[in-house]
Amino acid sequence: MSKLNSSVAACALALLSGASVARAQCPLLSKLTAPDAAALDWFGYNLAVSGEVLVVGARNHDNEGGKDAGAVYVYQHYQGDSDNFELVTKLTASNAAPFDSFGVSVAIDGDILVVGATSQETVHAYIFARNQGSPDNWGEVTTITGSDTEPADFFGTHVAVSGDLVVVGAPNNGETGAAYVFARNEGGADNWGEVKKLSPSDLTPNAGFRIVSVSGDIVVVGASGADDLCPGDPQCNSGAVYLFARDQGGENNWGQLKKLTAGDASPGASFGGSTFISGDIIVVGAADDSSSIGAVYVFDRNQGGPDLWGQVKKITALDAAPDSGFGFSVSLSGEVLVVGSVVNSGELANSAYTFVRDAGGADNWGQINKLVAPDGPQDVLFGRRVAVNTSVAFIAAPYDDDACPGNPQCDSGAVYFFDSTGVDCNVNGICDSFDIADETSGDCNKNLIPDECDIDSGLSDDHNGDDVPDECQPCQLADIDDDGTVGIGDFLLVLAQWGPCPPQCLGDVDGDGDVGILDFLLVLASWGACR
């Protein structure tokens, strides 16, 4: 593992410095624009991905509902073509009206899609289901609203979904903001009724409690305007993140579980301006930290003890600079984290960064790549929103001008696709994550590097020559007599060959050229039937 982590970290540094490395960097995979793109649509104002389905909001798109009624585009990826995301449908609200901004927020999990709208007249978020009406129809199931919300609350500015739960943020509800939890069968089958309004008692005015994410039985809400570090100062904005659990305080009570702040909290950091939870990992953006250099904080459920949600890491970009806004957006899938960097200075270009969990060491979250728009000016708001699945990092650029070239005020919008780890180690013209996703290459140790590259580069050994890294098959290596079981026969073979031995002699389980105590221990560790 140490060889792997140091190699990945070195590769990341070399890529950023422009040095030549064995693992070639993959180019931009594709750029997506709406088929009916028009000026000021802001396609990509928000986006989300679940598996092979990508959804993109265009909050200012004009449609039959009127000016800026908004639209959402649903795309499906088809296996075998890394950048083939085809438009499945274009969604608009059933009650579309001018200035609804339908698509200001989007979230998807499996077959459920949630869309936020911030109309001046109505207060709704919309729920769609993949097979509502017909297969792959993505029909509207219902609209939802908070029990006490008004248009000025901006209910729907932020939405999240996980399984049978939907969470919606309302930043202007009361003086502090609020979030609302809805459950699919609350009040009846597929009713999507409200279960709980979340609004912690310690919130201060203008806390901005609204940035929602959800995974399983945990809801995360960011309040980037919280002033815990300097109480009473409305301009403090040190920020905080609140965790709620389904059964905290009683069945389906959704009580507060934990309040997170940065380990090095500072005034003006806006900690909680972006949040994402996936399983046992929470990532929190603080884009204004340290003169807007920005930072991202990683928390783990069991860091420091069971369910303590302790801080694991503070992440900054390797080329960190003031006013770069690193952490403006975040997204996580498995071992890959993508961070958007939206600058506050005309001297810097917007960008996004990819990180891998164990690059550089266990839970180190080392930087692997920096992504920039290769074809556009720096003011396209590249990185305003990011999303990632197993293979692809999606970077939104809602101010892109492709619909009207030469007009810098066009702002029709676009989404850029990059390989999620950005490298092609076997130089076959296909990015590594697609080799792995399509099973062209194996990745038995789950390090996001094809097995053949692990072996060829010396990161992993393959003493039995079966093209599988040895660390993935310790039992097979210890089964010296090849009878399907590690037992007394293998133990005796180790004893019989004790001492220095020629390359690949049977008793040399660890491949160090000597049959000794380590080989004996490997046999003991693998004792029993191989599976």
Beta-strand pair 218-223/240-245:
antiparallel
pLDDT tens, residue by residue, 182-235 = 999 999 999 999 999 999 989 888 899 999 999 999 999 999 999 888 888 878
Rounded to whole angstroms, the Cα distance separating 140 from 156 reads 16
Q: Are 274 and 286 in contact (CB under 8 A)?
A: no
Rounded to whole angstroms, the Cα distance separating 140 from 217 reads 25
Closest CA to 301 of 280, 283, 282, 284: 280
Coil, helix or strand at residue 156:
coil
Rounded to whole angstroms, the Cα distance separating 477 from 22 reads 29
Rounded to whole angstroms, the Cα distance separating 464 from 306 reads 41
In a domain, 485, yes or no: yes
In a domain, 320, yes or no: no
- Cβ-based neighbour number of residue 181 at 10 Å: 22
- Cβ-based neighbour number of residue 511 at 10 Å: 16
pLDDT for residue 10 is more than 90: no
Beta pairing partners, 315: 296
pLDDT tens, residue by residue, 333-359 = 999 999 999 986 555 568 999 999 988
Of the pLDDT bands very low, low, confident and very high (cuts 50, 70, 90), residue 519 is confident
Domain that holds residue 507: 473-529
In a domain, 521, yes or no: yes
For residue 111, the model assigns a pLDDT of: 97
| Spatial CB neighbours of 135, under 8 Å, sequence gap ≥ 6 | none
Helix ranges (H only) for 368-440 are 432-437
Q: Are 298 and 307 in contact (CB under 8 A)?
A: no
In a domain, 504, yes or no: yes
Closest CA to 423 of 363, 365, 371: 371
Beta-strand pair 139-144/125-129:
antiparallel
Strand extents, DSSP E, 302-424: 310-315, 326-333, 336-341, 351-356, 366-371, 386-388, 392-397, 414-419, 423-424
For residue 429, the model assigns a pLDDT of: 66
pLDDT tens, residue by residue, 455-493 = 888 888 777 677 888 778 767 677 788 787 888 888 888
At 152, give phi and psi (nearest 5°).
-70, -10
Q: How far apart are the first and last CA of the chain?
A: 23
What is the full DSSP assignment across 40-75? Answer: T--EEEEEEEETTEEEEEETT--BTTBTT-BEEEEE
Comparing 127-131, 156-160, 255-259, 433-437, the range with the smallest average pLDDT is: 433-437
Handedness of CA 369, 341, 271, 42 (dihedral sign): negative
| Spatial CB neighbours of 165, under 8 Å, sequence gap ≥ 6 | 181, 182, 183, 184, 214, 219
Closest CA to 29 of 448, 388, 440: 388
For residue 361, the model assigns a pLDDT of: 84
The number of folded domains in the chain is 1
In a domain, 241, yes or no: no
DSSP letter at 111 equals: T
What is the per-residue burial (b if ≥16 Cβ within 10 Å, else e) of 268-290?
Answer: bbbbbbbbbbbeebbbbbbbbbb
In a domain, 141, yes or no: no
Mean pLDDT (whole number) for 302-331: 95
**Residue type (1 letter), 159:** V
Q: Are 272 and 265 in contact (CB under 8 A)?
A: no
For residue 485, the model assigns a pLDDT of: 84
DSSP letter at 26 equals: P
**Residue type (1 letter), 338:** V
Place of tokens 């806004």: 325
Beta-strand pair 85-91/105-109:
unpaired
Closest CA to 213 of 175, 240, 241: 241
In a domain, 522, yes or no: yes
Comparing 166-170, 380-384, 470-474, the range with the smallest average pLDDT is: 470-474
In a domain, 503, yes or no: yes
For residue 16, the model assigns a pLDDT of: 38
What is the full DSSP assignment across 174-188? Answer: TTT-EEEEEETTTTS
Rounded to whole angstroms, the Cα distance separating 313 from 390 reads 22
pLDDT tens, residue by residue, 80-138 = 555 678 999 999 999 999 999 999 999 999 999 999 999 877 778 999 999 999 999 99
- The continuous run of DSSP H or E covering 77 comes out as strand 71-77
For residue 278, the model assigns a pLDDT of: 97
Coil, helix or strand at residue 94:
coil
CA 180 to each of CA 159, 161, 195, 273, 416: distance values in angstroms, whole numbers, following the listed order: 10, 12, 8, 18, 32
Rounded to whole angstroms, the Cα distance separating 331 from 352 reads 11
